[in-house]
Amino acid sequence: MKQLVFSLVILIPFYGFSQAESEAYKQVAAQFETHYNAENYEKIFKLFSTEMKSALPLEQTTAFLKGLQIQAGKIQQRTFLQYENQTYAAYKTKFERSVLKLLISLDSNSDINGLLIKPLQENLQSQLKRNKTDLVLPFKEEWTVVWGGDTRELNYHVENPAQKNAFDFVITDENGKSYKTNGKTNEDYYAFGKELFSPCAAEVVQVVDGLKDNTPGQMNPLYVLGNSVILKTENNEYLFFAHFKQHSIVVQQGQQVEPGQLLGLCGNSGNSSEAHLHFHIQNIEDINNATGVKCFFNELSVNGEVKNDYSPIKGDRIKNLD
């Protein structure tokens, strides 16, 4: 999984600006917000300059904005910050599920010739280094850790601030294969359709469902998490579960769940090439500004040996104790 970064950018000529938001920028930014929240992407496209329309045709613009809507939601509040690189007006933009920086550039005709949406880097400090809440594994049976640990060799997630302590879990057979025959269908994978459970008592703070499962080997980078659930513990830990099977999630936002309560079924949606569970903990809900939290599980079997307060690493075969 990759960090959410959305961008539509073309090179633009140099213009000089003062640090007060100009009336032209104020009007265009307001129009962008209105059309975006109404999901009227064609009207946003009409705000583009000729060069922007050529570089980013309507189909690409629509796909980009739809992806942003699914992952971040509608715009709730937008505040002008400053001009950046002498060309872009920067806005702190609060979406329903994320706080991002929206940057807009206009040409001499007040048409949009540059658009960038990226994480807002704020001074967010966290003293949360590891989970305080007792956790059990979120599945039954024995699963295999395909990515997990503190080094790049063990875990490619380490380069992403929010996901640096993430795990990817699959089910493998005695030969180490994650599928039964040729791996060409989702149903051929041992993990596909397996039940996933809450590892602790928590509140459901976000649910995304309804996205199609990918054909194995193909990924959907527009919807990184895919069908997903985010839980918040009483210790303000945010637990991320990604890539559920389409229409399988059985919990709702605002619901309280107990340890061992069913969340949904393992799938292959989002930025995923095969059926697996991506799981990680972070210090705040916004994945674009969060810091990853190291995750330890209570009382589990690791390669046939009982472990307590253990953080799995790549290659471990793990399961809850019976």
Please give the Cα distance from 104 to 95 (Å, whole number).
17
Co-location of 171 and 264 in the same domain: yes
Please give the Cα distance from 286 to 206 (Å, whole number).
11
pLDDT confidence bin for 83, thresholds 50/70/90: confident
Mean pLDDT for 204-209 is 95
99 vs 246, which has greater pLDDT?
Answer: 246
Co-location of 114 and 194 in the same domain: no
Q: Is 1 inside a domain boundary?
A: no
Co-location of 39 and 161 in the same domain: no
Question: Of 84-88, 136-140, 222-226, where does mean pLDDT reach its minimum?
Answer: 84-88
User: Is residue 195 classed as helix, strand or coil in its secondary structure?
Assistant: strand
Domain boundary among 79, 104, 119: 119
Token pair in block for residue 240: 């991320």
Co-location of 213 and 313 in the same domain: yes
Q: How far is CA 312 from CA 68, 146, 266, 294, 300, in A?
A: 33, 10, 19, 10, 10
Co-location of 109 and 167 in the same domain: no
> The domain containing residue 178 runs over which residues?
143-320
CATH number, residue 99: 3.10.450.50
Burial call 82-117: b when 16+ CB within 10 Å, e when fewer: ebeeebbbbbebbbebbbbbbbbbbbeeebbbbbbb
Mean pLDDT for 288-308 is 94
Mean pLDDT for 238-262 is 97
Please give the Cα distance from 209 to 227 (Å, whole number).
5
Tell me whether strands 202-208 and 99-106 are parallel, antiparallel or unpaired.
unpaired
Q: Residue 140 pLDDT > 50, yes or no?
A: yes
Q: Which residues contact 178 (CB under 8 A, 6 or more apart)?
A: 144, 170, 171, 172, 189, 190, 191, 274, 275, 276
Split into its structural domains, the chain has a count of 2
